[in-house]
Structures are given as structure tokens and as C-alpha cells.
Amino acid sequence: MTSLNLVSRTCPIPFLSHATTAMFPTPNSIISSTKPFSYAFSVSAIVTSNQETIVLDKPATTTTFDFTAYMLRKADTVNKALDAAIAMKEPEKIYEAMRYSLLAGGKRVRPLLCIAACELVGGDEETALAAACAVEMIHTMSLIHDDLPCMDNDDLRRGKPTNHKAFGEDVAVLAGDALLAFAFEHIAVSTKGVSPTRVVRAIAELAKSVGSEGLVAGQIVDTHSEGLSNVGLERLEYIHLHKTAALLEAAVVLGGIMGGGNDDEVENLRLFARSIGLLFQVVDDILDVTKSSEQLGKTAGKDLVADKVTYPKLLGIEKSKEFARKLNQDALQYLAGFDEDKAAPLVALANFIANRQS
């Protein structure tokens, strides 16, 4: 493989110093370590549209912010908007395949982050909804393509057969392509109450996150790192900052742009998102080796089978958990300049990502 200059896309954050240092904080739980934003919420489970149950840790105290209600309400809004955006039409086969994966459920973390960021800087749900749906369309595309035999060759996604298992490889590739193209069309024609300048800025941000400087960059380095014995933390960070964190970052930044945020607000949101993006992947790596396929709704242990480098493989389970706690703390620090009440959904979503069980 050609040597690569593994540099983060913008404003690099020294995550590696967190992963390699022995000086990790060791609180009893990730949620309890989130000062100064010590929002706690009482919730035992969240049921998504496909009846998936997500169990969360239960802190001892609660606030007036009802995270369960917020997540269910926003996810329902997003699901209805996605259903309406891609209605059945001719040719039916491609729309059936697109809807099969797009409406298969899931936690809708990315669109929720987009909406919450928009509301944080003064926008509203309607302002962010088209962008939120577009991000989810692209995320779904990435899952369809990632599951293909030429990539991860997976049979299960969100508790159902993967798209190519249900429709064949040819249709799955085209369904992913169609979702990718439609995502940009959807932002361009369906965004309401936002200036053309901000819409164009958002489209450029989203395109960068998914292309050769974002998701694709992470995917190609990931694919060509399988089986290598010399893959270290720097390359692993590069993979996940691009393959996973880039789209999470785009979701939050799009929300900030659509909501009218100024440059400083958008930049703080970007850094917050980059931290939770890497956090999402660290947790994903941990779950892959500690949970069953039934618990995850997708094939467990596939990284081990593919001989992929992961955080547990390089750091061990406990150090990986400590790194996740540190990333969670770092993420919340970037919200310190915002109104605490308006920041509550993003704080809760960061904690949700840290404590998710699937």
C-alpha cells in the first residue's frame, strides 16, 4: 500500500495523547464524569421504530430535561420525514431497496445531533430537518455499501438481512448510490427558512465529510489495513476520524449552519462532534468484542475475524473504556460556552453515545 500522510481533516485534536497516556480519570461511570455539564437523566430504555430496546445506565439523580421523551419525539419526526421524502414510485425495485434500509429503524443519532445543534444556536427543528434527513440518507448508504461482499461481507444489519442479501448486490449498490445523490437534492430543495449562502455552505460541508477527505478516506485506509501487523494508534485514529467521526461532525456542523450559528459557535460544535465521533467508534469497537450478534442487531466479532485493528486490540478493553470516558469529558467541554438548558440535548446525546449497548 502506498504510504499515507495521516493527518486529520481540519483542526487536528491530539486524541493520541489521550489514548497513550497512563493518566486517565477513572470515575464510576461515564455519565457521572461529565462536569461541568452534570445533566443526569432517568431512563431505563428507549424503543426505536423497529422496537429495538437500548438500555442505558441510570444515574442517581434527575433533572427536568426528559431525554427519553426528547429522543423518541425527535426520532419519530425524523422517521416520518424520511418516509415522506422517499415515497414508493417507479422503478419500484430501487425505491423498495432504498426504503428497506433507510426505514429499518436505528437510533437516528446523526439527525438528532443535527436538530439539537440547530436548536442550540437559535434555530428550530423545521430548519434542520432536511439536513438531518440528508445525513441519515448518507449514513444508510454507507451501511449498505459497507456490508457488501467486496467490503465487510456482512449478513445482518439492524436485526435484518443486509440490503444485498435481500435484493442482490447490484440493487444494493444502486440503492446506496441513489440515497447518496438524493441526500444533496433533498437539502437543496427541501430546506426551509435558510439563506441560499448557508444552504450551499452546508452542502459543501456534507460533501467533504463523505468524499475523499472524509468517509471514503477512512474506508480506504481501513480496508487496506486489514491483516497488517504494523497498524498503530495514529493510523487507527485517522481511520475513525474519517470513516465514523466525519459524518457525525457533519451532522452537528450542518445543524449549527442551518440554525444561524456564528463562526465561533460552529467551530465549537465541530470540535464537540469530532470528540463524540471518535467516542462512537471506540464504544463500537468495545461492543464488537463484548456483545452478541443478537444484542447488537449486527454481526458481532467481525473485526476480529477480518483481523482489523481496533482500540481493544491495541489498548485492551479497560484502557479503551478509559479513553472513551476521556473523549466524553472532552466533548462536553466544548459546550461550556453555550446556554446550559439549550445544550442539555447534546450533553445527553454525548452520554447516550458513551453508554450505548448496541
pLDDT tens digits, 93-135:
999 999 999 999 888 999 999 999 999 999 999 999 999 999 9
What pLDDT does residue 289 have? Answer: 83
Res 296: pLDDT? 55
Q: Which residues of the chain have pLDDT under 50?
A: 1-63
Per-residue pLDDT at 10: 39
In words, the CATH class of domain 67-355 is mainly alpha
- Rounded Cα gap, residues 115 and 133, in angstroms: 10
Looking only at the bridges linking them, the beta strands covering 53-55 and 156-157 are unpaired
pTM, two decimal places? 0.80
Cell of 222: 481501513
pLDDT confidence of residue 324: 94
pLDDT of residue 307: 64
* pLDDT attached to residue 104: 92
Predicted local distance difference test score (pLDDT) of residue 139: 96
Axis crossing angle, helix 263-290 with helix 233-243, rounded to the nearest 10: 110
